[in-house]
Amino acid sequence: MDLKQRPALVTGAGQGIGRSIALQLAAHNAGGVIVNDFHPQRAEEVADEIRSMGFDAIAAPADVSNAEQVRAMLSLARERFGEIGILVNNAGNAGPSQRPDISAAPFWDVPAADWDRWFSVNLYGVMHCCHAALPSMVARGGGGRIITILSDAGRVGEAGLETYSAAKAGAAGFLRALAKSTGRHSITVNMISMGATVTPTSEDALSNEDLQRKMLQHYVIRRLGTPEDAAAMATFLASEAAGWITGQTIPVNGGYSFAL
């Protein structure tokens, strides 16, 4: 699980899953961690936390849905750590809002103008980061790792989350194609599909005991996910141990769904 001093960029790492991934990568010998978040204070707090552990990190506030900000973030990362070797696309939900307003209306009653906020982060944000990071990964001769946090909403669909499901599924299709394009350069591209996970964004809703009891009926392992569950898989996929795994969507979901 040694990351062999590859610098790592984690998007949306100011809290929750992204924070846990950033901490785990630092602890497994990443060559510096670039902590991205839309909110500068959150990014700086996690970078400080990593530095307090004795590892190197910088905060890199940016909106991943903005291609120019992503390119500037990669330039900052190169100036400090050189070319990044690990990219974790974790930024998601509806962008920077702490608790996105999910409409209870059926999809056909939701205005099309509401779609952009989901696609801009969950699909275009992933594409922007890959587009900016890949030239140097390819030029360096391979060994790069691209890991993207998806959702079972995109893998199996979720009623009431049609646009979010579409954005996550779109990202999965893009990344599978990218895996085929980059494999010749020994770059791996994999996805982690999360089930219901307790994070600062979701904890208020998931703390409802009646809701949690109903949800857990669908989970073979009778608990909700934690950010550390995602971080453990991300660290494995970033390591040499996963060097012959690419183009895969790996469920980390407590048995919410099974497939051959």
Q: How far is residue 120's CA from residue 142's CA, in Å, rounded to a whole number? A: 28
Taking the CB of residue 76, how many other CB atoms lie within 10 A of it? 18
Alpha-carbon dihedral angle through residues 231, 88, 193, 250, given to the nearest 10 degrees: -80
* Contact residues for 209 (Cβ-Cβ < 8 A; gap 6+): none
Q: How far is CA 24 from CA 13, 54, 137, 249, in A?
A: 12, 13, 22, 20
Q: Which residue in the list 124, 164, 219, 256 is annotated as catalytic?
A: 164
Residue corresponding to tokens 């969507």: 249
Task: Tell me if residue 219 is catalytic.
Answer: no
- 188 — phi, psi (to 5°)? -100, 145
Q: How far is residue 153's CA from residue 118's CA, in Å, rounded to a whole number? A: 13
Q: Are 252 and 225 in contact (CB under 8 A)?
A: yes
Q: How far is residue 91's CA from residue 118's CA, in Å, rounded to a whole number? A: 11
Rg (CA), the chain: 17
Q: How far is residue 23's CA from residue 12's CA, in Å, rounded to a whole number? A: 13
The percent of the chain in helix, strand and coil, each rounded to the nearest 5, is: 50, 15, 40
Q: Which residues are catalytic?
A: 164
